[in-house]
Structure 1
Amino acid sequence: MSERGILLSHTQADAIKAEEQNGRENRERIVQQVAKELSLSQKQVRTTISLLDEGNTIPFIARYRKEMTGELDENQLREIEDRTQYLRNLEERKKEVLRIIAEQGKLTDDLAASIEKAVKLQEVEDLYRPYRQKRKTRASVAKEKGLEPLAEWLRSEPKQGDALVEASRYVNPDLGVQTAEEALQGAMDIVAEAIADEAAIRAWARKYTMDHGMMVSEAKSPEAESVYEMYYNYREPAKKMPSHRILAMNRGEREDVLKVTLEVDAEPIHRYIAGRWIKGNSAVSGILHSVVEDAYKRLIAPSIEREVRGALTERAEQQAISIFAGNLRSLLLQPPVRGKRVLGVDPAYRTGCKLAVVDDTGKLLEVAVTYPTPPNNKKREAAAKFSELIDKYAVSLIVIGNGTASRETEQFVAEVIAERKDKELAYLIVNEAGASVYSASKLAQEEFPDLDVAERSAVSIARRLQDPLAELVKIEPKAIGVGQYQHDVSQKQLDESLTAVVESAVNHVGVDVNTASPSLLSYVSGVNATTAKNIVKFREENGRFVDRKQLQKVPRLGAKTYEQCIGFLRISDGRNPLDKTPIHPESYDVVNRLFAELGVDLGQVGSKELAAKLAAVDAEAMAARLEVGVPTLRDILDSLQRPGRDPREELPLPIFRTDVLKIEDLTPGMELQGTVRNVIDFGAFVDIGIKNDGLVHISQLSEGYVKHPMDVVSVGDNVTVWVLNVDLKKGRVGLTMRNPQKSAL
Structure 2
Amino acid sequence: IKKALDFMRNQHLEVPFIAFYRKEYVQPELTINDLWRVYKLDAKWCQLRSRKLTLISLFEKMRDYQAEQLMKDLGATIPDGMRIVRDEDIDRLRAVQTTEELKDVHLHFLLYYGHEVPAMQEAVRAKERKVEMEARRARRREEQGEEGDDDVEEVELPPPPPDTIKQAVRSGPYAMCRKAGIDAFAKRFGLTPDQFGENLRDNYQRHEVEQESVAPLELAKEYVSSKFVTPEDALRAAKYMVAMQIARDPLVRICVRETFFERAKIDILPTKKGLKEIDENHPCYSMKYIKGKPVRDLTGDMFLKLTIAENDRLITMTISDHIDGITTSSYLEEAKQLYYRDEFSKNVQDWNLLRVDCVETALRKMLLPDLKKELRMHLLEEAKESVMKACCHKLYNWIKVAPLSVDFADEDDEEWDNSKGLRMMAIAYVPDYSQAAFACLIAPDGECTDHLRLPHLLKRKNSFREDEKILKEADLLALRNFILTKKPHAVVIGGESRDAMMVSADIKDIVNTLVEDEQFPQIPCEIMDNELAKVYANSIKGENDFRDYPMLLRQAISLARRMQDPLVEFSQLCTSDEEIMCLRYHPMQDPLVEFSQLCTSDEEIMCLRYHPMQ
Q: TM-score surpassing 0.5?
A: yes
Q: Which amino acid aligns with 1:422?
A: N
Aligned to 1:368, the other structure's residue is in SS state strand
Distance 2:480 2:107 in 1: 72
Aligned to 1:243, the other structure's residue is in SS state coil
- Paired residue for 2:598? 494
Deviation, structure 1 residue 386: 5.4
Aligned to 1:344, the other structure's residue is in SS state strand
- Paired residue for 2:440? 357
**Post-superposition CA distance 1:63-109 (Å, at most 9, x none):** 22234445654223223322322322222121012122333335421
Is 1:187 aligned to 2:238, yes or no? yes
**Post-superposition CA distance 1:307-363 (Å, at most 9, x none):** 223222323332332222222112112121243532231435487355241234232
Distance 1:86 1:179, change over 3 A: same
Distance 2:21 2:395 in 1: 25
- Paired residue for 2:354? 287
- Paired residue for 2:303? 246
Q: Which amino acid aligns with 1:470?
A: V
**Post-superposition CA distance 1:586-606 (Å, at most 9, x none):** xxxxxxxxxxxxxxxxxxxxx
Distance 1:204 1:401, change over 3 A: farther
- Paired residue for 2:287? 231
Is 1:345 aligned to 2:428, yes or no? yes
Aligned to 1:443, the other structure's residue is in SS state helix
Distance 2:477 2:313 in 1: 53
Kindly indicate whether the alpha-carbon contact (under 8 Å) linking 1:352 and 1:369 is maintained by their aligned counterparts in 2.
no
Distance 2:220 2:234 in 1: 6
Residue from 477, 481, 485 that aligns with 2:588: 485
- Paired residue for 1:366? 451
- Paired residue for 1:65? 22
Is 1:506 aligned to 2:506, yes or no? no
Q: Which amino acid aligns with 1:410?
A: A
Distance 1:379 1:291, change over 3 A: farther
**Post-superposition CA distance 1:171-220 (Å, at most 9, x none):** 444x3x35443332222221111111112222222221222222322211
Aligned to 1:159, the other structure's residue is in SS state coil
Aligned to 1:328, the other structure's residue is in SS state helix
Deviation, structure 1 residue 232: 1.5
Distance 1:454 1:168, change over 3 A: farther
Q: Which amino acid aligns with 1:441?
A: S
Deviation, structure 1 residue 496: 2.4
Aligned to 1:313, the other structure's residue is in SS state helix
Aligned to 1:342, the other structure's residue is in SS state strand
Aligned to 1:218, the other structure's residue is in SS state strand
Residues 635-674 of structure 1: pairs in structure 2 closer than 5 A: none
Aligned to 1:260, the other structure's residue is in SS state strand
Aligned to 2:105, the other structure's residue is in SS state helix
Distance 1:194 1:121 in 2: 20
- Paired residue for 2:492? 399
- Paired residue for 2:548? 450
Deviation, structure 1 residue 483: 3.6
Residues 45-56 of structure 1: pairs in structure 2 closer than 5 A: 45-46=2-3, 48-50=5-7, 52-56=9-13
Deviation, structure 1 residue 414: 4.3
Q: Which amino acid aligns with 2:430?
A: P
Deviation, structure 1 residue 445: 2.8
**Post-superposition CA distance 1:397-425 (Å, at most 9, x none):** 553444xxx22432541463476473746
Distance 1:385 1:123 in 2: 71
Residues 309-708 of structure 1: pairs in structure 2 closer than 5 A: 309-338=376-405, 339-349=422-432, 352=435, 354-361=437-444, 362-364=446-448, 365-366=450-451, 368=453, 370=455, 381=471, 384-385=474-475, 387-392=477-482, 393-394=486-487, 397-402=490-495, 406-414=496-504, 416-417=506-507, 420=510, 422=512, 424=522, 427-475=525-573, 476-483=579-586, 485-489=588-592, 490-510=594-614
Kindly indicate whether the alpha-carbon contact (under 8 Å) linking 1:345 and 1:398 is maintained by their aligned counterparts in 2.
no
Distance 2:473 2:261 in 1: 62
How many residues are treated as equivalent by the alignment? 460
User: Sequence identity of aligned pairs in percent?
Assistant: 18
- Paired residue for 2:364? 297
Kindly indicate whether the alpha-carbon contact (under 8 Å) linking 2:457 and 2:475 is maintained by their aligned counterparts in 1.
no
Deviation, structure 1 residue 129: 1.9
Distance 1:434 1:136 in 2: 59
Aligned to 2:275, the other structure's residue is in SS state coil
Q: Which has the higher mean CA deviation after the structures are superposed, 298-307 or 362-371?
A: 362-371
Distance 1:247 1:379 in 2: 51
Is 1:119 aligned to 2:97, yes or no? yes
Deviation, structure 1 residue 123: 2.0
Distance 1:263 1:350 in 2: 58
Kindly indicate whether the alpha-carbon contact (under 8 Å) linking 2:264 and 2:320 is maintained by their aligned counterparts in 1.
yes
- Paired residue for 1:617? none
Aligned to 1:501, the other structure's residue is in SS state helix
**Post-superposition CA distance 1:99-125 (Å, at most 9, x none):** 223333354211211221222222222
Q: Which amino acid aligns with 2:287?
A: Y
Residue from 155, 159, 180 that aligns with 2:212: 159
- Paired residue for 1:78? 36
Structure 1 vs Structure 2 CA RMSD:
3.2
- Paired residue for 1:263? 320
Kindly indicate whether the alpha-carbon contact (under 8 Å) linking 1:340 and 1:359 is maintained by their aligned counterparts in 2.
yes
Aligned to 2:500, the other structure's residue is in SS state helix
Distance 1:193 1:471 in 2: 59
**Post-superposition CA distance 1:439-459 (Å, at most 9, x none):** 333322332122244432332
Is 1:97 aligned to 2:201, yes or no? no
Kindly indicate whether the alpha-carbon contact (under 8 Å) linking 2:493 and 2:504 is maintained by their aligned counterparts in 1.
no
Distance 2:85 2:49 in 1: 17
Kindly indicate whether the alpha-carbon contact (under 8 Å) linking 1:399 and 1:461 is maintained by their aligned counterparts in 2.
yes
Q: Runs of 5+ in structure 2 lacking a partner? A: 64-83, 115-167, 192-209, 324-328, 406-421, 460-464, 514-521, 574-578
Deviation, structure 1 residue 473: 0.8
Distance 1:418 1:367, change over 3 A: closer
Distance 1:349 1:191, change over 3 A: farther
Distance 2:476 2:598 in 1: 41
Distance 2:287 2:551 in 1: 41
Deviation, structure 1 residue 395: 5.0
Deviation, structure 1 residue 470: 0.7
Q: Which amino acid aligns with 1:54?
A: Q
Distance 1:301 1:500 in 2: 39
**Post-superposition CA distance 1:717-738 (Å, at most 9, x none):** xxxxxxxxxxxxxxxxxxxxxx
Q: Which amino acid aligns with 2:447?
A: K
Distance 1:470 1:480 in 2: 16
- Paired residue for 1:677? none
Distance 2:509 2:175 in 1: 85
Distance 1:495 1:142 in 2: 52
Kindly indicate whether the alpha-carbon contact (under 8 Å) linking 1:417 and 1:426 is maintained by their aligned counterparts in 2.
no
Q: Which amino acid aligns with 1:162?
A: A
Q: Which amino acid aligns with 2:174?
A: A
Q: Which has the higher mean CA deviation after the structures are superposed, 199-208 or 423-432?
A: 423-432
Distance 1:372 1:322 in 2: 40
Q: Which amino acid aligns with 1:240?
A: D
Q: Which amino acid aligns with 1:464?
A: R
Distance 1:56 1:400, change over 3 A: same
Aligned to 1:305, the other structure's residue is in SS state helix
Distance 2:468 2:31 in 1: 53
Distance 1:229 1:77 in 2: 38
TM-score normalized by structure 2? 0.67
Kindly indicate whether the alpha-carbon contact (under 8 Å) linking 2:504 and 2:526 is maintained by their aligned counterparts in 1.
no
Aligned to 2:13, the other structure's residue is in SS state coil
Q: Which amino acid aligns with 1:446?
A: N
